[in-house]
């Protein structure tokens, strides 16, 4: 991710449902060691689109990059907003689009045009289940993708370290207890562990037990139901 952003390129983060793609990509972007701009790190813009067309990206993108109000679609129309968005992407930053599998070929081609525009200094991160299949329908943008990152299930050896990084509640947990829970319930599925984290944290806050032991982990797993 760091190389992609430094190169002002495009990357695609893909993998099956619930494996932590969005969390991993977001964390990687937060940990970027890159240059400091205006007292902060690289800005990350995350448009939230109700539809999958270029107009929606222009509208949401303008809000996310904090363009002047007069340049936004509601005041100036999509044409002027698109020009303003192109100018904004002339500054270093990252445009992060989640649910990339929902993006239509016209929208993907619009993104390609944004990144082909002279002076574009931003990076593009596309993340989602089947994001690689969506890009397969837009060969012009696909050929410009610098990095592909496939997120898989957690290996058993990765579980303790990953959970500790995810939430401090797991800091004192016994790795053997985590391995047992992963084998019987989570099976390397990050979203299952995220839900378990919520239950463990809530149990600790409600009771006097402060240690995350096997019993507490099993109680949390039991609340996940038949479809963890």
Q: Is CATH 3.90.1150.10 the right assignment for the domain spanning 2-150?
A: no
Q: Where are the domains of the chain?
A: 2-150, 156-222
The number of helix segments (H) and strand segments (E) in the chain equals: 11, 5
Interacting residues of 95 by C-beta distance below 8 A, sequence separation 6+: 45, 47, 61, 89, 122, 123, 124, 125
pTM above 0.85, yes or no: no
Helical residues (DSSP H) of 9-52, grouped into ranges = 21-30
Please list the pLDDT of the chain residue by residue as tens digits (228 residues). 889 998 999 999 999 999 999 999 998 988 887 554 444 567 888 876 555 555 555 555 555 554 443 444 444 344 666 777 788 888 888 999 999 888 888 888 988 998 998 889 999 999 999 999 999 999 999 999 999 999 999 999 999 999 999 999 999 899 999 999 999 999 999 999 999 999 999 988 887 667 899 999 999 999 998 877
């Amino acid at each position: 991710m760091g190389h992609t952003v430094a190169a002002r390129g495009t990357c695609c983060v893909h993998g099956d449902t619930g494996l932590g793609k969005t969390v991993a990509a977001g964390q990687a972007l937060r940990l970027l060691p890159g240059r400091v701009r205006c007292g902060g790190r690289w800005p990350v813009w995350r448009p939230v689109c109700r539809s999958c067309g270029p107009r929606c990206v222009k509208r949401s993108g303008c809000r996310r990059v904090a363009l002047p109000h007069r340049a936004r679609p509601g005041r100036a129309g999509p044409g002027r907003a698109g020009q303003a968005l192109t100018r904004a992407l002339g500054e270093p930053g990252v445009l992060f689009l989640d649910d990339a599998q929902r993006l239509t070929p016209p929208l993907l081609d619009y993104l390609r045009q944004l990144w082909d525009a002279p002076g574009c200094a931003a990076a593009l991160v596309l993340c989602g289940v089947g994001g690689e299949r969506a890009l397969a329908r837009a060969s012009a943008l696909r050929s410009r993708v610098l990095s592909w990152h496939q997120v898989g299930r957690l290996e058993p050896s990765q579980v303790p370290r990953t959970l500790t990084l995810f939430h401090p509640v797991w800091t004192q947990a016994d790795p053997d207890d985590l391995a047992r829970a992963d084998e019987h319930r989570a099976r390397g599925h990050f979203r299952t562990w995220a839900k378990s984290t919520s239950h463990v944290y809530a149990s600790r806050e409600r009771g006097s037990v402060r240690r995350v032991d096997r019993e507490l982990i099993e109680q949390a797993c039991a609340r996940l139901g038949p479809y963890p």
